[in-house]
Structure 1
Amino acid sequence: MNRRGAVLGMAGLSGVAGAGLWWLYPRPPAQLTDDAFRASYAHPLPAPATGLPVYHLGHSLVGHDMPAFIAQLAESAGFAGHGFHSQLGWGSSLRDHWDPAHPVNGFAEMNATQQTWRDPHEALESGAYDAFIMTEMVELNDAIRWHDSPRHTALWAATARRNAPGIRIYMYESWPHLTTLDDWLHRLDNDPETLWEGTILAGAMAQPDTGVIHVIPAGRVMAALTRAVAAQGGLAGMPDHTALFARTPTGELDPIHLSDMGKYLVALTHFAVLYHQDPRGLPHALLRADGSPAQAPSNELADLMQAIVWSVVQSVPETGLAIANPHMQRATQ
């Protein structure tokens, strides 16, 4: 059994055995072999010439501000026509969004803005989008074990592709809860190969009609920035990685949700992957979704963020970009 089969097999066995109902469940779905998975990304996507209508599906790590930041970056870069709709929840899995038997937690609160909300089934069946970006709930191991993540990833991808055959489909790879720095960086380094791609995408892409799902490697960008800032002893506005995360009303660190600077970093990553464009030189003073000014990174930090984003996304073939430095691929996965 290859690495991917072992990971999914252990997740499936622990879940069904714990329930005492293992005989009612089918075997884990087929997965692409390592070679077949890598071969799926042998040819880069063509760079878009115009703005992309985008649909975002996920939860609070998508949020309202980050897609608004992407739209501002696209406009600044000259990509007229970029627009977006979304459906979000509180920690919602792709299964929750797919199956009405599992209500989307926080639906009313997260989708109150009628200008950006659109039902995902209706939206994707319309064929009106050039890009579909989905993300999975945190914790990934729970999504795989209890929410059948590879299957629901495949279902969403097949729905999007059936109605818009040329659509670009992405998995936005996020990050785990911040614990110790070493453990968090270890997860950011290893989860793409073992969980995001090695289990979820390899399982989804083995199913009929899924096609290739590209990735937006936000977690790997966060790891690279964290290490670069630490190597410099901190920068103005970012003494360490915790500046990427929000604070609670009482001032405590939120270990999963992002500050404005974290959202800006993730938006840069989305922009660079979607448009195959170097984000260096793009503005870093942006507006939140409600029109208020976001906290902007310093010029020095913004320059570093933009350079790191471009370096990382060009080193990961699963982004769909042409690879600038093949020798960096294994270091960033």
Structure 2
Amino acid sequence: MARGAVATRSFIVSLCLSLSACTLGRCSVPPPMAQAEFEALYAAPLPKPASALKVFHLGHSLVGRDMPAMLQQLAPEGHRYDSQLGWGTPLKTHWGPKEGINGFATENDHPRYRDAKEALLSGEYDAFVMTEMVNLTDAIRYFDSWDYARRWARLAREGNPVIRVYLYESWHDLDIAGGWLDRLDSDLGTLWEGEILRRAIEPEDPKPIYLIPAGQVLARLVRDIEGSGGFAGLTRREDLFSDRIHLNDIGAYVVALTHFAVLYQRSPVGLPHRLHRADGTPATAPSEEAARRIQEIVWEVVTSLPRTGVPQAAAASGSAREP
């Protein structure tokens, strides 16, 4: 499986029936936090980081090796990162033994691998970014996404009480039933927030889990590209992908910019667009014109969603070059 394929639906169903404690019954699922209470948690933005961050990434091939490496190249000097990855791995499976993680040996055969639990309990990280597997509906139904998002957030805060915890919103296969753009529009509020975030936040001591809205950025960018007839070499959504779900270098650049904008609370406009992959080889770069438009879209989206923890709209004049 080149670059780590996302698990197929049949694999998900068969595995979940044997491993999920709740299976179809979804036992002990708490009600979602009331919308007004949820929104109030994000009313005040996070303070801007005063220095470079050390970040831990937990996920699968939609995180990959190249995107965090690109983020490091965009970030202030001193940015560091480590990760634990798998192929189509749900948060629940990451919580268990490594032997249960499909593709573990392949995806973590690099210098940035670190055991997730050991890393977070070390207290060395300023930010923790986790993502759930897709198909997201299956992850929620069979793999108790809310519960394991809560567990991972709790563990991260056990190691560092002031760590910033993020949920990275990804995307589905381009051929997803219901339409790729339509699912991105609906899944944010219904699934990522309604089924995961609003259930994962602990009612006894509510602390925000912030959002890295990569899916929303991709949706906005695709509408911009396809609605305008294309610009600077980008003409259709497939120009961002290497297959029907995994991103190519330009797509990874888009997601790295989104992580930068959220984590550092700075506009990415003006950042470099010629970067390297994790293995040190030059990444295929967007044109300067395309990069500028991508950067603008990232900042427009990030500053329109309070769940990012970034100051909204009024902060949109911020610069990537700020100290």
Q: With structure 1 as the length reference, what TM-score do the two structures score?
A: 0.85
In the alignment, does 2:281 pair up with 1:292?
A: yes
**1:42 aligned partner, one-letter code:** A
Q: Secondary structure at the match of 1:295?
A: coil
Query: Cα distance, 1:101 vs. partner?
Result: 8.3
In the alignment, does 2:308 pair up with 1:307?
A: no
User: What does the per-residue CA deviation read over 1:63-86, in whole Å, with 9 as the maximum and x for residues that have no partner?
Assistant: 000000000000xxxx22210000
Q: Where do 1:143-154 residues align within 5 Å?
A: 143-154=139-150
Task: Judge conservation of contact 1:95–1:102 (CA < 8 Å) in 2.
Answer: no
- May I ask how many residue pairs the two structures share in their alignment? 297
**2:113 aligned partner, one-letter code:** W
RMSD: 2.2
Residues 210 and 127 from structure 1, CA distance in 2 versus in 1: closer, same or farther, beyond 3 angstroms?
farther
Q: Secondary structure at the match of 1:262?
A: helix
Task: Judge conservation of contact 2:98–2:104 (CA < 8 Å) in 1.
Answer: no
1:215 is matched with which residue: 191, 211, 217?
Answer: 211
**Which residue pairs with 1:36 in the alignment?**
37
Q: Any gaps of 5 or more consecutive residues in structure 1?
A: 1-14, 247-253, 327-333
CA distance in 2, matches of 1:38, 1:209: 15
CA distance in 1, matches of 2:24, 2:280: 54
Residues 109 and 42 from structure 1, CA distance in 2 versus in 1: closer, same or farther, beyond 3 angstroms?
same
Query: Cα distance, 1:46 vs. partner?
Result: 0.4
CA distance in 1, matches of 2:205, 2:84: 23
**2:40 aligned partner, one-letter code:** A
CA distance in 2, matches of 1:133, 1:324: 24
User: What does the per-residue CA deviation read over 1:260-293, in whole Å, with 9 as the maximum and x for residues that have no partner?
Assistant: 0000000000000000001111100000000000
Residues 285 and 154 from structure 1, CA distance in 2 versus in 1: closer, same or farther, beyond 3 angstroms?
same
**2:228 aligned partner, one-letter code:** Q
**Which residue pairs with 2:57 in the alignment?**
56
Q: Any gaps of 5 or more consecutive residues in structure 2?
A: 1-15, 316-323
Q: With structure 2 as the length reference, what TM-score do the two structures score?
A: 0.87
CA distance in 2, matches of 1:286, 1:55: 21
**2:36 aligned partner, one-letter code:** D
Query: Cα distance, 1:213 vs. partner?
Result: 0.2
Q: What fraction of aligned residue pairs are identical, expressed as a percent? A: 52
Residues 195 and 25 from structure 1, CA distance in 2 versus in 1: closer, same or farther, beyond 3 angstroms?
closer
1:155 is matched with which residue: 151, 155, 174?
Answer: 151
**Which residue pairs with 1:283 in the alignment?**
272
CA distance in 1, matches of 2:135, 2:24: 26
Query: Greater CA deviation, 97-106 or 160-169?
Result: 97-106
CA distance in 1, matches of 2:273, 2:50: 23
**Which residue pairs with 2:107 in the alignment?**
110
CA distance in 2, matches of 1:267, 1:89: 19
**Which residue pairs with 1:264 in the alignment?**
253
Query: Cα distance, 1:112 vs. partner?
Result: 0.5
1:138 is matched with which residue: 134, 137, 141?
Answer: 134
CA distance in 2, matches of 1:295, 1:164: 37
Query: Cα distance, 1:36 vs. partner?
Result: 1.1
**Which residue pairs with 1:176 in the alignment?**
172
